[in-house]
Amino acid sequence: MHIMEGYLPLNHAVGWTVVSAPFVIHGLRSISKNIRNKPETKMLLGVAGAFAFVLSALKLPSVSGSCSHPTGTGLGAVLFGPTTMSVVGLVVLLFQALLLAHGGLTTLGANTFSMAVVGPFVAYGVYQAGKRTGLSPGVSIFLAAALGNLMTYVTTSFQLALAFPDPVNGFTGSLIKFGTVFAFTQIPLAISEGLLTVIVFGALSRYSFKEMQDLNVLGGGCK
Amino acid sequence: MKQTCKTLLLLIAVIFITALPLMGFHLDPGADSEIFAGADDKAMTVIEEISPGYEPWAEALWEPTSGEIASMLFALQAALGAGFIGYYIGSSRSRHKGLT
């Protein structure tokens, strides 16, 4: 989902930065509030960040014949809320843009929007919906992480189609082309991310039950 | 024990999903593209197809000097993250066992 440095026209680059900024600002406030009110969850925030670090570094082969990577933002979004992951995702993207020439500073706003805004919001929404409809935490967390991952890549396809409409078939034609590259490749990876998130979430809810309760993650059934 | 079993099964499923394409179960990536190239790079090719005149207007400030250096940095990124998660789960597990 990394749009490479310089590959978005200036107005798009600025536009996506403006759109992403409020989420990051809200996230910074929410993180500092959390650290003040629930200092015992600080280490858990580190785990959410570390998980995004690991998963976004793993480039995995897919049935489409190309490689892509998971995002790892679903876990943190479920634990701390979506905008916390907007900040964490931005840090991961900055690291990759500066040290790995992966993504870029001019495309940072757009990449933040797909990986650190849309992905976490989808994951958070799906988890909350799952909890309310009585799905087991395991199934909810799987769907949350997998769909958050997939929607991140759908968003990238959408962003690229907006910037580069097909000369013949326009926006839709482009969306199909970029969607084939990104979203289709991503399906098996989204399943893998879902399963890995279930494993880590399971370990956290066993051994850090109290912190998870403080964050109100586990919901009524487990209290 | 039951929990360990479940975790192992999930891990095996992830390994299976990852290994399947490597064992030949994948689509042809197209004549102009290397097998298992990054989707990000393929998207650049699509951009060049759609807008042949587009010139990227910025370049990375610094690029890893070789593929090996890039792999090292990606491995470092994963190792730092995995190390922290392992430390946290390990220490909270022993704290949990101490309490019960």
pLDDT of B13 higher than 50 = yes
Counting one residue from A and one from B, how many pairs have CB atoms under 8 Å apart?
191
Locate tokens 């409020």: which residue?
Answer: A22
Q: Render pLDDT for A103-126 as a digit per residue (tens, 0 to 9).
A: 999 999 999 999 999 999 999 999
pLDDT of A221 higher than 50 = no
> What is the reported pLDDT for B41?
86
Provide the Cα torsion B84, A46, A145, A6; round to 10°.
-100
> In this structure, which amino acid lies at residue A211?
E
Q: How far apart are CA A66 and CA B29, in angstroms?
A: 7
Distances (CA, A) of A41 to A15, A36, B37, B82: 34, 10, 39, 19
CB contact under 8 Å between B11 and A178, yes or no, is no
Question: Residue B52: which H helix or E strand, with range?
Answer: none
Q: Which of B28, B34, B47, B87 to mutate to probe the A interface, most A CBs <10 Å?
A: B47
Between A187 and A218, where is the model more confident? A187
Categorize the per-residue pLDDT at A93 as very low, low, confident or very high, splitting at 50, 70 and 90: very high
The domain segmentation of chain A, as residue ranges, is 10-222
Q: How far apart are CA B33 and CA A160, in angstroms?
A: 20
Residues within 8 A of A (CB atoms), B 8-47 only: 10-11, 13-14, 17-18, 20-22, 25-30, 33, 35-40, 42-44, 46-47
Q: Which of B9, B88, B95 to mutate to probe the A interface, most A CBs <10 Å?
A: B88
Determine the average pLDDT of the residues in B73-94: 94
Note every long-range contact of B55-58, with CB atoms under 8 Å and residues 24 or more positions apart, other chains counting: B56/A4, B56/A5, B56/A6, B56/A7, B57/A6, B57/A9, B57/A10, B57/A106, B58/A5, B58/A6, B58/A104, B58/A105, B58/A106
% of chain A at pLDDT higher than 90: 87
Determine the average pLDDT of the residues in A190-218: 91
> What is the reported pLDDT for B62?
86
> What is the reported pLDDT for A72?
96
> What is the reported pLDDT for A220?
45
Complex ipTM: 0.91
Average predicted confidence (pLDDT) for chain B: 88
With 0-12 CB in 10 A as exposed, 13-18 as middle and 19+ as buried, what is B65?
Answer: exposed
Q: Render pLDDT for B14-72 as a digit per residue (tens, 0 to 9).
A: 999 999 999 988 887 665 667 888 888 889 889 999 999 899 999 888 888 888 999 99
CATH architecture of A10-222: Orthogonal Bundle (1.10)
> In this structure, which amino acid lies at residue B13?
A
pLDDT of B99 higher than 90 = no
Sign of CA dihedral B83, B89, B90, B92: positive
The domain segmentation of chain B, as residue ranges, is 1-56, 67-100
> What is the reported pLDDT for A82?
97
Q: What angle do CA B5, B11, B14 make, to 5 degrees?
A: 145
Q: Render pLDDT for A138-185 as a digit per residue (tens, 0 to 9).
A: 999 999 999 999 999 999 999 999 999 999 999 999 999 999 999 889
- For the record, the structure tokens of B95 come out as 């704290």
